[in-house]
Chains A and B, each alone.
Chain A
Amino acid sequence: MRYEAVIGLEIHVQIDTQTKTFCRCSTAYGDQANSHTCPVCLGLPGALPVLNEEALRRAVIAGVALGCEVSGFSVFARKNYFYPDLPKSYQISQYELPLNVRGAVAIRDEHLHDKRIGITRAHLEEDAGKLMHDEDPRGPSYIDFNRCGVPLLEIVTEPDMRTSEEAYRFLTAVKEIMQYTGVSACSMEKGELRVDVNVSLREHGALELGVKQEIKNMNSFTNVKKAIDYEIIRQTHILRKGGVLSQETRLFDQGKNVTITMRTKEEAHDYRYFPDPDLVPVELDENFIQSMRETIPELPEKKRKRFVAQYGITLYDAETLCASAKLADYFEEAVQGYSQPKKIANWILSEFLKVLNEKNLEADQSPVTPLMLRELFTSMDGGEISGKIAKDVFNTMCSTGKTARSIIDEQGLRQVTDQESIEAVIDEVLSENQTVVLDVKGGKGKAYGFLVGQVMKKTEGRANPRLVNDLLRKRIERG
């Protein structure tokens, strides 16, 4: 019996706005608990919601970027349930008439084929507060309502994924899109992207879906992958033994890398959705949707493909470069009018990223501007400095913010290309290492490298390596 895993995701993305979805409280993270509340988000008697236009705009932009149809008429609905972090005991969300429907995001599956993951809907709703528990297990729980009312985009996928890897890639793709469009920074530490995973198994070739298991509130892509892998094993095990699965809600235990049943709070929720009478419907015309579409920059998928075609880099490299819109922009600016973009790409992917990670900077915060980087390369290409020296120069550029040219000048790093002076050094090295010279003549390649190294040492690395090679060989051949 072969089973196939069917995976769907529900992603909650926190939309980046100054104020909350339905009131003017600040959405700022990390401030004093309960300092960003008002009658509306606290659910006081008599309070009323008013929609934040910016939240709507970004939700539309997100929908377009996710390939969705934006609805011309959408309605806010109340999702009714009782929980202490939900002040009104209902969440303002969308139900029958959501903002965005029928979209898709392309990922590359394990065989490197393009696969489209369908998006059923992407709608706008408000977040709940934050619940914390006393360290003493017999102690109470505490509520911070700052997060209450912050705008969320809920993205629901079709059950189109079949492996944990696909889910991981899909999440990465969605995160990129959200960041690229500026809809959300998707900071995982701040909980700006949360995932609920649905996994079920069915016999290979079957059309009906198996019994769904839901794993709630995951905030790490790696954990999502682990949870799915575990679930597949767990469910397969049960089904192979002839067992039956019942629809369950589970949590991922990070410590043990397993999923566990949530303590059943109660029976399945009856949310009693109905249109919120305190809000009015949203009517959007094609002009508005088009104007939102026009604000969307080139998205990662398209950019990656273009980079490969335009700059001759590998898809793998393109993926890393495009992982951040800022990095991709940096790269493009650096290779403006430069004939060997691949070289700069490699540098960015190694030296440049290393520095960014060390200093915890974004590409646009780097002390080395794209122009400065390009200049470094032109120095190398022109033979002014060697690749090895360039690395040192780069580090100095990073720590001082000075240009390559000025550092080269200040430290006198200009490559020695003067044949005479190199020959003089070569003579010196040969006379000091006569036994090695004999080894070289005897055919030992390593000995030769040693001599080259000695010449470079004496010239403090400034001798042009190719010239050294050339002249040294000629000298040895001459005798």
Chain B
Amino acid sequence: MKVDKDTIVRVAQLARLKLSEEETLRMQKQLESVLEYVEVLEELDLKEVIPTAHTLGYTNRMRDDEGGESFDVHTVERLAPRWSRGHVVVPRIL
């Protein structure tokens, strides 16, 4: 199917990707060719088919409510690119 530039821009924003003008055009063309290819699925009659819910069909995987190990706060601190006052720091959220 045809993919217009606006769609790429919208989808890029949904995915929080910043694309240059050149990238946008390139992605548009490439995505278009892939989407055209996947149209082969139209050949199938899928009305009565149940979509695969899980690769091997498992259900009911659970665990008990027992506590386990948590990270030491220092581990979280070491991972965080910006840390202050015991918290991960980000630019102000309005």
In the complex, A touching B (Cβ < 8 A): yes
Q: Which residues of A contact B (CB under 8 A)?
A: 17-19, 23-26, 32-39, 42, 44, 50-56, 75, 82-84, 131-134, 137-145, 263, 265-266, 270, 272, 275, 277, 279-283
Tell me the smallest distance from the CB of B37 to a CB of chain A, in Å. Answer: 21
- Residues of B contacting A35 in the complex (Cβ-Cβ under 8 angstroms): 70, 73
| With A140-B92, A141-B89, A143-B88 as contacts: A36 and B70 at CB distance below 8 Å | yes
CB under 8 Å from chain A, chain B span 68-94: 68-71, 73, 76-77, 79, 82, 84-94
- Residues of A contacting B79 in the complex (Cβ-Cβ under 8 angstroms): 42, 44
By the criterion CB–CB under 8 Å, are A32 and B94 in contact?
A: no
Partner of A19, one of B53, B60, B67: B67
By the criterion CB–CB under 8 Å, are B64 and A54 in contact?
A: yes
Smallest Cβ-Cβ distance to A44: which chain B residue: B79
Interface flag for B44 (CB, 8 Å): no
How many residues does chain B have at the interface if contact means C-beta atoms less than 8 Å apart? 36
By the criterion CB–CB under 8 Å, are B65 and A54 in contact?
A: yes
Tell me the smallest distance from the CB of A459 to a CB of chain B, in Å. Answer: 61
- Residues of B contacting A275 in the complex (Cβ-Cβ under 8 angstroms): 53
| Chain A at the B interface: SS class | loop
By the criterion CB–CB under 8 Å, are B87 and A280 in contact?
A: no
Tell me the smallest distance from the CB of B85 to a CB of chain A, in Å. Answer: 6
By the criterion CB–CB under 8 Å, are A52 and B63 in contact?
A: yes
By the criterion CB–CB under 8 Å, are A280 and B61 in contact?
A: yes
CA distance A51 to B59 in the complex (A): 11
By the criterion CB–CB under 8 Å, are A283 and B59 in contact?
A: yes
CA distance A139 to B93 in the complex (A): 10
CA distance A138 to B63 in the complex (A): 44
CA distance A327 to B86 in the complex (A): 41
- Residues of A contacting B66 in the complex (Cβ-Cβ under 8 angstroms): 18-19, 24
- Residues of A contacting B55 in the complex (Cβ-Cβ under 8 angstroms): 277
By the criterion CB–CB under 8 Å, are B62 and A51 in contact?
A: yes
Interface flag for B16 (CB, 8 Å): yes
Smallest Cβ-Cβ distance to B16: which chain A residue: A82
